Structure 1
Amino acid sequence: MECLSCLSLRGERSISPGPIVYEGTYWMVDHAYPTIHLGWLVILPRRHVEALHELSREEFLELAEIQYRLAQTMHLDSYVQKEYLMCFAESKGFSHVHIHMVPKPADLPDEHKGPRIFERLKADEEHPIIPADELTAFCDEFTRKLSAIK
């Protein structure tokens, strides 16, 4: 199966209907989609890499800076209690390394805490997918806030 992350990075098949949140030298940040969890960000290396040990020192240094800035920006919102950070790169079509950075609100239901947060990538009638216009507005505002974090 073709790498869905690479397709998105090349602009051939976007993962999210929202705008890119951040573009660096080695990494970019996009909003996960579909999801019921607004603010679920995905950090992607700009080149195809399937394991963390394949990253260069320079890529790791930029990744650390991005993670710091994303965490600080997420925490500007009072509803964010902490941030989750995960990397598996095991799903079909997504073996390309990608790091999930997810704001954890104080009122997150117990059944979605910890690794069970991935349930929020699934949508159903009770939990509809975030509308594209709402996701776009969030990404635009988050990008504005992120640019102020140094």
Structure 2
Amino acid sequence: MTDSACYSCAEEQRSSMERPEAAIWISDEWRVAHAMGCALLGWLVVLPRRHVEGIHELNGAETAELGPLLRDVSQALVEVLGCAKTYVVMLAETPGFTHVHFHVIPRDTNLAGELRGTKVFDYMRRPQSEWVPLEHQRDLALALRESSPFEGPSVER
């Protein structure tokens, strides 16, 4: 099921070949993409492939895959970017973005204190001139696909 007014559902319908940063990893249940309109390289979102607006709506297969996937996405970011850890946040409150999506945010060892914790969302409010260029998102997508957490038969490329 998709929602025509939902950005995430619209992106689900687009070709992963057209926008590799929008489909870093895909399974039957989940898609991993680079966040749009963001000034932090590696800010990823993990989204169910069907439209759900609350965690309580996830089915058994989605639920079973979610924990290991969040771990693997975090491990891949640590491996590829060398970040200290990741933040994982799910809100889904912005109009047009109520589709469940988990933000997986790399927290660099040098991240300024005023940007740590929930203050990291400042990167989503930066002007377009500071957003991560698509070519950098695409380069990262390719590197993440080749990282050890995503190697294996469950990865669709």
Tell me the TM-score normalised to structure 2 length: 0.84
Q: Distance in 1 between matches of 2:101 and 2:42?
A: 16
Any residues of structure 2 matched to 1:80-95 within 5 Å, and which? Answer: 80-95=83-98
Q: Which runs of 5+ in 1 are unaligned?
A: none
Tell me the TM-score normalised to structure 1 length: 0.88
2:30 aligned to 27, 30, 34, which one? 27
Shift, 1:28, TM fit: 0.4
Shift, 1:17, TM fit: 7.2
* Alpha carbons 2:11, 2:22 under 8 Å: kept: no
Q: Which amino acid aligns with 1:107?
A: N
Distance 1:54 1:37, change over 3 A: same
CA RMSD of aligned residues (A): 2.2
Which has the larger helix fraction? 2
Any residues of structure 2 matched to 1:128-143 within 5 Å, and which? Answer: 128-143=130-145
Any residues of structure 2 matched to 1:115-134 within 5 Å, and which? Answer: 115-124=118-127, 128-134=130-136
Distance 1:74 1:129, change over 3 A: same
Residues paired across the two proteins, number: 146
* Alpha carbons 2:38, 2:126 under 8 Å: kept: yes
State the identity %.
29
Distance 1:7 1:78, change over 3 A: closer
* Alpha carbons 2:91, 2:101 under 8 Å: kept: yes
Structure 1 consecutive aligned stretches of length 4 or more whose deviation exceeds 2 Å: 16-19, 122-125, 146-150
Matched residue SS, 1:75: helix
Q: Which runs of 5+ in 2 are unaligned?
A: none
